[in-house]
Amino acid sequence: MKKDTELAAEVIHESKHQLQGVINTLTEEVGRVILGKREQVRLALCCLLAEGHLLIEDIPGIGKTTLAKVLAEILGMEFRRIQCTSDMLPGDILGVSVFEQTAGTFRFHPGPIFTHVLLTDEINRSTPKTQSALLEAMEERQVTLEGETRPLPRPFFVIATQNPLELAGTFPLPESQLDRFLLRIELGYPDRSSEHDLLRGGGTSRELAQIKPMLTPEKVIHFQQMAAGVHVSDTLVEYIQNILDFTRTSSLFHMGLSPRGGLFLLRAARSWALISGRDFVVPEDVQKILPYVAGHRLRKADGQGEMVRDELMALLLSVPVPT
Amino acid sequence: MIYPDRQTKPILGAIVLCTLPHFTYISPIVAAACLLLWGYAAAASAYAWRLPGRRLLLVFAGISFAAAMSLHEGFTIEAFVALLSLMAVLKLLESRDLRDRMITVILCYFLIAGRIFFGDSMGVTIYMLLTILFTTAVLIQVNQPQAFFPPLLRLGGVLLLQAFPFMLVFFLLFPRFQGGLWGRTHLNTAQTGFSDQVGFGNIAELARNTEVAFRVEFAGEVPPRNQLYWRGIVLWDFDGRTWRRGASRLSPLPPPEADPGDIAYTITLEPHNQHWLFTLDLAREISFRQAYLQNDHTSFRWRPITSRITYQAVSNPDTRLYSRKHFPKHALELPEQGNPRSRAMAETLFRESGGGQEYIGKVLEYFREQPFEYTLQPPPLAEGDDLVDQFLFRNRSGFCEHYASSFAFLMRAAGLPARVVAGYQGGESNPYGDYLAVRQSDAHAWCEVWLPATGWLRVDPTSAVAPARVTGDVLNALPAEETSSLLSFLYSTPLGQRLRGMINLWDFVNSQWNRRVMSYSANEQSSFLTALGLGIRSSEELPPLLAIILAAATLILILVFALFFRPKEPVRDLTAEAWLDFCRKMERIGLPRRPAQGPLDYLRHICQQRPDLAQNADKLVSFYVRLRYAGKGRPDEIQSLRSLVKKFNPGRSA
């Protein structure tokens, strides 16, 4: 174990600046298609490097799908897309075995999940059964069908979108399944000048076609290993524990963050530190990604609504940073 | 902004449980304020309301203090308990950290202990134990916020069981002082039980109070019920409205000789904050420290009875009341004016009868034959001087004190010396414990008349009107419409019988509890120690000696704990100290670090506000961040950080 981290630390030291450049170029390139959303792009990259999955929640037509497409394209990874509907079955995602008369055997036809980047559009439109099949695969990074376990390709990155407004005919994801997404982000409307450029440009399809792959799956895996090796000091762990304790004892929340929530928080913070060009995590990294990690994991004290961003910020302000 | 946290609810629960038993003793206004504050705390916790600020709480605390003192007659026990009740919930409202919460829970323990001032019956003790258990569980939860509550109750129970041996040792060995810690009962008891005067209507008020006044155990047979007159006080002075004891003209009763008809018994008297003890008519001997029989056969103690006492007495119903050859002159005194009709009737009746004995008979006959009614709710007598006239000729319905007062008046008006005796009559025998429980509702008043042939003679005019009152026929003593449905249920249905049995059983358990546990006093303690072989000659030496032993034991315990359970010396965190020094320096020039602010944010803030400091601050902060977060700190780097901080001089605030 120790050897691994030492090795990772060395790797980081070498390629930290390389990565810094890569991230900036990536953000720049994606920014040409997704106008004025640098922050969200960086968060999506952060999520990818932390080996987590991303949930984008926003109204239709805001650019969710485009973001996913651009990311897949630019990272040089295989991209598949599922449009979720209520009559979809697990087999439609995972794949099915079909009897072939000529050979006299069953042959497995892999489903769309066997890819690097999977975009599941409107995940809350599929039935709980399908949702759970998908989310299980996300967690375990393998598919078990008819007693046979098939690993999914690496890296494996799921971008799911859901529409918060359309409630008819949807099956909202329960907390346990929301928990599998490392980050949840909203895109939001573009600012005035970005939208001006967008309207002048007449859509994103032209820019999208010009995107060239800049990385390979192997590179991505390498960067992911770097992120996992980012140093976390005892003081920082203490700070994360302060945050966890606060969510558990404060009456603002229905339920506190789970230990897994804490692990995810740490993982995302590492990744963010790497993106920010550091090989160690500082409290600011945690503060930066906390709203995106905790937003879908905390319920208000009445058990009904989710926390508003402002309330999460208030939370941040009440947890002291250890000295 | 302070929000209530998740632990508010269990602590609030503990406060409510600990305060509720005080509600009957503290002022209703304070109780209502407590209810309001509890409601606010509960709602604030449920809906995440903001809590009041410190200044507002300070104002509340001031008001609470003033209210507690003014509503409970100054610095009384009630006032302190009321103040404690309010402060506990106010403290909850300002709870910010573990220390605050601990203090709140400890206040709860004080609240529990405060209940002892108001009574120590077994029910109360059990309730107190349960609240201690709950509060202990809350105390554990305060320190372990993650834990689930129900298992904590078990853990609390285990802790209490472990503390039990200590409790036993303290119960048996802690120095006890005669007369309790405060030497005064609380205000409420001072109001129950009757006072040293009998007017028209103040015993009737007691008749609905079913609290036990005292319990009696007879050595032999229980005398018949119509003999059970429990003598309390003798009243001489009548002002037309109220009978009072008047100036004391009494002297101790000379010791009588033993008589075969003597009845020996033991009385356990609940505290009533007065000076007299109750004895069966007529007491010959009473054995209790500082108490003696007076020559009107009442018993008196110099210090008021502020805690439960047990005493033995010997009575003989056949004893002639001790009387001097001549009755005292004031046994004939009446107000100079008033009640002309009664006076006229007394004269007429006395003239018609041959002597005192016959006159008494005639008056009793008058009571028996005229439509007099025995009732708990006599029509109120009008204001004025002629209360006896009003009662005898107009209202004609009243309680025992009406009959006793007017009878004594008629006697004195006819020239017969008479006085009123107040005490209790009857008592309910308890089948479980073979004792009589005499309740406040048995309060009674009767008369004594002096005749040359017999001396003082007991006459109970109430028995002429309502014989059932004296024979103990509860259902028929009062007019049917005044017999409460509960009473008739208890006495006439099978279920009521069983319920009455349970009430008796509970009373028996309580009496045993009082006798065997609660009566453990200085005397018992010294005899217990003698039995242990620790006999000490004089009981006065005992308390100081025990105090010294206990103090020594405590000191040794503290030393042992200090030696063996000393917390580890915390390792000095030089990095943190240096960082805090830096933050303090910055604070002095008006750039404090928010507690939730990370070092890099803080640096950015400083660079914006004071570009002149940017270079030094940047160097310093990056050192700190490397040491703290990058995991690359070396001892010499800590030193350089310290010297950087030492040299750092932000100058004056801009």
State how beta strands B397-398 and B373-374 pair: parallel
Nearest chain A residue to B142 by CA distance is A249
Rounded-to-integer distance, Cα B648 and Cα B654, Å: 16
Same domain, B95 and B33: yes
Tell me if B356 is assigned to some domain. Answer: yes
pLDDT band at B321 (very low <50, low <70, confident <90, very high): low
Same domain, B242 and B157: no
Rounded-to-integer distance, Cα B408 and Cα B446, Å: 9
Same domain, B250 and B359: yes
Which of these is catalytic: B386, B389, B460, B507?
B460
Tell me if B179 is assigned to some domain. Answer: no
Tell me if B652 is assigned to some domain. Answer: no
**Least confident span in B241-255, B259-273, B633-647:** B241-255
B146 to chain A, closest Cα gap in Å: 8
pLDDT band at B181 (very low <50, low <70, confident <90, very high): very low
Same domain, B164 and B255: no
CB contact under 8 A, B596 and A314: no
The residue from B173, B188, B217 where one domain ends is B173
In angstroms, what CA-CA distances link B348 with B357, B411, B648? Answer: 15, 12, 113
SS3 A305: coil
Tell me if B189 is assigned to some domain. Answer: no
What is the predicted pLDDT for the residue at A122?
Answer: 84
In angstroms, what CA-CA distances link B34 with A94, B7, B22? Answer: 62, 19, 11
User: H/E element holding A140?
Assistant: helix A128-140
Rounded-to-integer distance, Cα B22 and Cα B281, Å: 38
In chain B, the percentage of residues whose pLDDT exceeds 70 is: 85
pLDDT band at B4 (very low <50, low <70, confident <90, very high): low
Which of these is catalytic: B72, B272, B297, B444?
B444
The residue from B483, B512, B535 where one domain ends is B535
Rounded-to-integer distance, Cα A322 and Cα B114, Å: 42
Rounded-to-integer distance, Cα B565 and Cα B556, Å: 13
B629 to chain A, closest Cα gap in Å: 5
Tell me if B505 is assigned to some domain. Answer: yes
B35 to chain A, closest Cα gap in Å: 22
Rounded-to-integer distance, Cα A140 and Cα A149, Å: 11
What is the predicted pLDDT for the residue at B183?
Answer: 44
pLDDT band at B182 (very low <50, low <70, confident <90, very high): very low
**Exposure on the CB side of residue B621, measured as CA atoms within 13 A:** 20
Strand partners, A57: A162
Q: Which residue has the higher pLDDT, A245 or A323?
A: A245
CB contact under 8 A, B630 and A231: yes
CB contact under 8 A, A235 and B594: no
Match 């205000």 to its residue by tokens. B187
The full length of chain A comes to 323
Nearest to A318 among B8, B596, B600 (CB): B596
Nearest chain B residue to A320 by CA distance is B596
Rounded-to-integer distance, Cα B572 and Cα B577, Å: 8
Same domain, B22 and B144: yes
Same domain, B290 and B314: yes
Match 């390389």 to its residue by tokens. A18
Nearest to B6 among A249, A281, A314 (CB): A249
Same domain, B556 and B608: no
DSSP category for residue A190:
-
Question: What's the mean pLDDT in A279-295?
Answer: 87
**Least confident span in B209-213, B232-236, B581-585:** B209-213
Nearest chain A residue to B141 by CA distance is A249
Q: Which residue has the higher pLDDT, B630 or B156?
A: B156
CB contact under 8 A, A284 and B601: yes
CB contact under 8 A, A251 and B8: yes
User: Which positions in chain B have a beta carbon within 8 angstroms of at least one beta carbon in chain A?
Assistant: 1, 3-8, 45-48, 145-146, 576, 579-580, 583, 594-601, 625, 628-631
CB contact under 8 A, B600 and A282: yes
Q: Could you tell me if B376 and B487 are in contact, meaning their C-beta atoms sit under 8 angstroms apart?
A: no
Q: Could you tell me if A237 and A99 are in contact, meaning their C-beta atoms sit under 8 angstroms apart?
A: no
Rounded-to-integer distance, Cα B464 and Cα B196, Å: 25
pLDDT band at A6 (very low <50, low <70, confident <90, very high): low
Burial annotation B145-167 (CB, 10 A radius, 16+ → b, else e): eeeeeeebbeebeebeeeeeeee
In angstroms, what CA-CA distances link B254 with B26, B257, B283, B322? Answer: 45, 10, 12, 9
pLDDT band at A13 (very low <50, low <70, confident <90, very high): low
Which of these is catalytic: B34, B108, B400, B447?
B400
pLDDT band at B75 (very low <50, low <70, confident <90, very high): confident
B444 labelled catalytic:
yes
pLDDT in tens, A23-60: 778 888 887 777 778 888 888 889 988 888 988 888 77
Nearest chain A residue to B625 by CA distance is A282
Chain B neighbors of A316, CB-CB under 8 A:
596
Tell me if B207 is assigned to some domain. Answer: yes
Interface confidence, given as ipTM, is: 0.81
SS3 A100: strand
Q: Could you tell me if B350 and B317 are in contact, meaning their C-beta atoms sit under 8 angstroms apart?
A: no
Tell me if B213 is assigned to some domain. Answer: yes
CB contact A237 to B (< 8 Å): no
State how beta strands B263-269 and B309-315 pair: antiparallel
CB contact under 8 A, A248 and B3: no
Same domain, B458 and B584: no
B1 pLDDT above the threshold of 60: no
Chain B neighbors of A255, CB-CB under 8 A:
none
Tell me if B186 is assigned to some domain. Answer: no
SS3 B447: strand
pLDDT in tens, B370-382: 888 888 777 777 7
What secondary structure does DSSP assign to B533-544, as a single string?
T---S-TTTHHH
Q: Mean pLDDT, chain A, as a whole number?
A: 80
Question: What's the mean pLDDT in B307-313?
Answer: 84
Rounded-to-integer distance, Cα A249 and Cα B45, Å: 12
Question: What's the mean pLDDT in A244-268?
Answer: 84
Same domain, B351 and B479: yes
pLDDT in tens, B430-441: 888 788 888 888
Match 């005194």 to its residue by tokens. B333
What is the predicted pLDDT for the residue at A269?
Answer: 93
Same domain, B364 and B292: yes
**Least confident span in A11-15, B56-60, B114-118:** A11-15
Two tokens at A176? 């346990």
User: H/E element holding B291?
Assistant: strand B291-293
Total number of domains in chain B: 4
B318 labelled catalytic:
no
| Domain with B628 in it | 574-647
In angstroms, what CA-CA distances link B211 with B124, B270, B434, B440, B442? Answer: 15, 10, 19, 6, 10
Q: Could you tell me if B95 and B122 are in contact, meaning their C-beta atoms sit under 8 angstroms apart?
A: no
Cα A261-A267-A270 angle, rounded to 5 deg: 140
User: Among A6, A251, A315, which would you mutate to test the B interface (most chain B Cβ atoms within 10 Å of its Cβ)?
Assistant: A251
Q: Mean pLDDT, chain B, as a whole number?
A: 81
Q: Could you tell me if B316 and B264 are in contact, meaning their C-beta atoms sit under 8 angstroms apart?
A: no
Same domain, B371 and B475: yes
pLDDT in tens, B400-427: 888 888 899 989 988 888 889 989 988 8
Rounded-to-integer distance, Cα B410 and Cα B359, Å: 10
User: Among A242, A255, A321, which would you mutate to test the B interface (most chain B Cβ atoms within 10 Å of its Cβ)?
Assistant: A321
User: Among B45, B574, B629, B637, which would you mutate to test the A interface (most chain A Cβ atoms within 10 Å of its Cβ)?
Assistant: B629
State how beta strands B291-293 and B299-301 pair: antiparallel
Rounded-to-integer distance, Cα A145 and Cα A92, Å: 13
Match 């006793």 to its residue by tokens. B404
B237 labelled catalytic:
no
| Numbers of helices and strands, H then E, in chain A | 13, 9
What is the predicted pLDDT for the residue at B613?
Answer: 81
pLDDT band at B148 (very low <50, low <70, confident <90, very high): confident
User: Which domains, and CATH codes, for chain A?
Assistant: 39-199 (3.40.50.300)
B580 to chain A, closest Cα gap in Å: 7
Same domain, B620 and B530: no
Maximum Cα interatomic distance, chain B, rounded to a whole number of Å: 124
Give the phi and the psi of residue A204 in degrees, each rounded to 5: -105, -5
